[in-house]
Amino acid sequence: MKVKRLLPRNGPRPLVLVIMDGIGCASNTEGNAVSHAYTPHLDWLLAHCPFTLLKAHGTAVGLPSDGDMGNSEVGHNAIGAGRVYAQGARLVNEALATGRLFEGKTWQRLMNYCRQNQGTLHFIGLFSDGNVHSHLDHVKKMLEQAAFVEKIERCRVHILLDGRDVGETSALEYVVPFEAFLASLNQQAGVDYRIASGGGRMVITMDRYEANWDMVARGWKTHVAGEGRFFASAVEAIETYRKEIPGVIDQDIPPFVIADAHGPVGPIRDGDAVIFFNFRGDRAIEISRAFEEEDFDKFPREPYPKVAYAGMMEYDGDLHIPKSYLVEPPHIENTVSAFLCAEEYKQLAISETQKFGHVTYFWNGNRSGKFDESLETYVEIPSDRVPFEQRPWMKAAEITDRVVNEIASRNYDFIRLNFANGDMVGHSGVYQAAIVAVEAVDLCLGRIIKAVQDTQGVLLVTADHGNAEEMYEVDKKTGRVKRHPNGEPKAKTAHTLNPVWFIAYSASQVVKMRIDPSVKDPGLTNIAATLMQLLGVEPPTFYDPPLLLFEF
Ligand SMILES: O=C(O)[C@H](O)COP(=O)(O)O
Ligand SMILES: [Mn+2]
Ligand SMILES: [Mn+2]
């Protein structure tokens, strides 16, 4: 038998790729909801199939440094594109470092608009250094430029508290130094810059995939109308809510409006300019639509001021949202779906609402459209609208019902799906719920293995980054879990730096697979070429190499 790098075109079908969102691989320590869950099917795959570990964070997925954890955008971009692209975080850093951002026509237009109308410059976005959706350093650089160079007199910052990509109750670690930064800016440049409103990112403004427009409507009321509960400062708002709602974590803090004796300090009015400073698109598209679309019907915008609006990046390259942006996004082309459509392969992409765009929009390089209507089917199972720690099974069973049927129907050459559980429940910080989430995924994995066996297909199991395998904060110096004064472990809600599994299971008796040992330091970008070799299509030379070797 000879070793080959490509299966025949009419090889085993279907090829099924399961992305277990937020399920990474780490040692079996306290707080690892993946290793402590009962996962007989994952264990079986690891015991019987070739597998390797893939890098899913840092420079391997186009982020600025290897200290940057992975995330869904860069993870799915990397899987779908087959090679590393410099991602938003890095591109904005570069545009600011070179000054290109400030020379660009969008920045100039906004500054002129403000000056001509004597308007206020507003910044809205995720207020942390998580580097997944945004980075606080970017906002600070823009505020300095506005104050010292552009001489914009009045700025207002609307802060979305994180606690999801950074420590769960870390808001004051950002707000307090930022207030000091603004105070010194005000003093040195003689300007009037303040925080004007805010709230938890899972309560206002940052909905995604149209899962819950009410969040955006609440954000509009808070930032634009300046309506809501008044506080003298963001610190007072956060401290008050923490007292009133014991155990509340930053992402869930209710909205607040900063007001003084004259009322709210920074509602958005005619003649103002607004910059949404997130670089990542999924949670920035809806609020951008609310600002830009004339005939918008998702909620009544009261008021709807006439402003100059820009996003940090273009968030949807297909629908061109927003119309105006500060930094060019990566132009991700020749994604694996484009190649598979050119070969006339039939493809199914399926997930629930929370991750639907991940297997479609992110997978296709931040494009919402299909490459070929007649070949591609996209299925969205509506997500529950509850905190996911209350329903950790989420819609895994419903996704699996459909997938199992479609495998049996042999309608598709390639099926890709995303199970949201490990990630969405991982972000809640509730350990017991994360265990249930991982077990729900494993139960479904068992059904998919069976369906693949029945059709003699091929199953690949991987993830886009880690999360549920580290549910507690660990002290980097001692390596021990951090604890609250009462001894309870401190929950970790963010993604991780851990690698993810890549497991290849061939149900066919004829095809034997193994991991190609010559591929050094594999990462998520090696998956696209692997899909192509399994479907009998020579991968393009600009893709990172495929992971498998075959005997048949
Ligand atoms: O948007 C979120 O929920 C988190 O910031 C990142 O999670 P994701 O990258 O898995 O979507
Ligand atoms: Mn993810
Ligand atoms: Mn996540």
Cα distance between residue 293 and residue 282, in whole Å: 17
Ligand 1 pocket test: which of 419, 495, 497, 524 has the largest number of ligand atoms within 8 Å of its C-beta? 495
Query: Which residue pairs, CB below 8 angstroms and at least 24 apart, start in 483-486?
Result: none
Cα distance between residue 446 and residue 460, in whole Å: 13
72 is catalytic: yes
ipTM: 0.98
Q: What are the residue ranges of CATH 3.40.1450.10 in the chain?
A: 89-327
Q: Tell me the CATH class for 89-327.
A: alpha beta
Cα distance between residue 222 and residue 197, in whole Å: 6
Q: Which contiguous run of DSSP H or E holds residue 55?
A: none
Atom of ligand 1 nearest to the CA of 72: 9
Judge if the beta carbon of residue 71 lies within 6 A of ligand 1.
Answer: yes
Two tokens, residue 451: 């369906």
Asked if residues 140 and 180 have their Cβ atoms less than 8 Å apart, the reply is no
Cα distance between residue 214 and residue 207, in whole Å: 9
- Compute, in angstroms, the gap from residue 468 CA to the centroid of ligand 1: 13
Residue ranges of the annotated binding site are: 21, 72, 133, 164-165, 201, 208, 280-283, 355, 423, 427, 464-465, 495
> Which residues touch 271 (CB under 8 Å, ≥6 apart)?
113, 114, 117, 118, 119, 305, 306, 307
Return averaged pLDDT per consecutive 10 residues of the chain, 552 residues in all: 93 98 95 98 98 98 97 98 97 98 98 98 99 98 98 99 98 98 98 99 98 98 98 98 97 98 98 98 98 98 98 96 97 97 98 98 95 98 97 98 98 98 98 98 99 98 98 92 95 98 95 96 98 98 98 90
What are the phi and psi torsion angles at 74 (to 5°)? -70, -30
Ligand 1 pocket test: which of 427, 469, 497 has the largest number of ligand atoms within 8 Å of its C-beta? 427
> What does the pLDDT read at residue 319?
95
Cα separations in angstroms, 52 against 147, 331, 479, 519? 51, 29, 26, 11
Q: Which CATH superfamily is domain 3-87+332-551 in?
A: Alkaline Phosphatase, subunit A (3.40.720.10)
> What does the pLDDT read at residue 470?
98
Q: What are the residue ranges of CATH 3.40.720.10 in the chain?
A: 3-87+332-551
